[in-house]
Every structure is written in structure tokens, then in C-alpha cells.
Amino acid sequence: MRRISITVSIAAISAITMTSITPALAHTALVSSTPRNGAILQESPKNFVLRFSETLAQLDRKQINTMKVMGPSKVRVKLNSMKIMKSSLSTTPLQPLTSGRYEISYRVVAEDGHTLYGVIKFSIQ
């Protein structure tokens, strides 16, 4: 009887320990984007918005979260300054985009220190 009680106690402690560790092991992920990956648009997007699963880190006077947009022929699209709103990074193009294929590349750092890189592809007809 005592052996069963010890086994149950160990199992309960293990379960509690594993569930309390899980959030610490989680990494930042891209939740959604505007435009979405693979989108085929009829007109230039008015803005670019990336939403993440974690709050983004911010440091005074340092741009640690970045987004750049490359257009047809690998020409970099000029963007307005970026805004961070908790777990979102957003910006707007300085001029409407022309037809062609585009890539949004990003690098963000969550408050927990995890860094995430990625690319979103879309095109304009």
C-alpha cells in the first residue's frame, strides 16, 4: 500500500513539474501576417503587419525587431518607421507597390529573449 502511495506521489510531482516547465520551453511563433504568406493581391497592400505569440522586446534607441520588404529584381521597398504594439510589428510602404513578387523578411526578439527569423512571400498581379 505504501509503495502505491509513493508511486502516485512521484507521478503527481512529475506531472506538476512538466506542466510548469512547458511555458518556459515555448518559443515565439508567427501567428499571422498581413499580407499572408503566399497571398496573390490585386493591389498594393496598405500596410504590413506581423503578429507573434509572445510580446516583443524593446530597447531604448536600438532597433532589435526588424522587417524589410524586397520587391521584383531584389529591390528593397522603402518603408515608414516600424511600430511595435505588444506582440505585433507593423509598417507601411512609402509608395504603392507595383505588380510582381515580394518577400517580407523579419527578425524579432521576444521579451523572453527568443529570436525568430522568417520570410513571407506574396505577389501583386
E strand or H helix at 62: none
At residue 1, the pLDDT reads: 57
Strand stretches in the chain, DSSP E: 30-34, 39-41, 48-52, 66-70, 83-85, 88-91, 100-109, 115-124
- Please give the distance of CA 59 from its chain centroid, rounded to a whole number: 17
CATH number belonging to domain 27-124: 2.60.40.1220
pLDDT tens track, the chain, 125 positions? 555 555 444 544 545 544 444 444 568 899 999 999 999 999 999 999 999 999 999 887 688 999 999 999 999 999 999 999 999 999 999 999 999 999 999 999 999 899 999 999 999 99
At residue 9, the pLDDT reads: 47
At residue 4, the pLDDT reads: 56
pTM for the model stands at 0.77
Amino acid at 17: T
At residue 77, the pLDDT reads: 97
At residue 20, the pLDDT reads: 45
Q: Domain extents for the chain?
A: 27-124
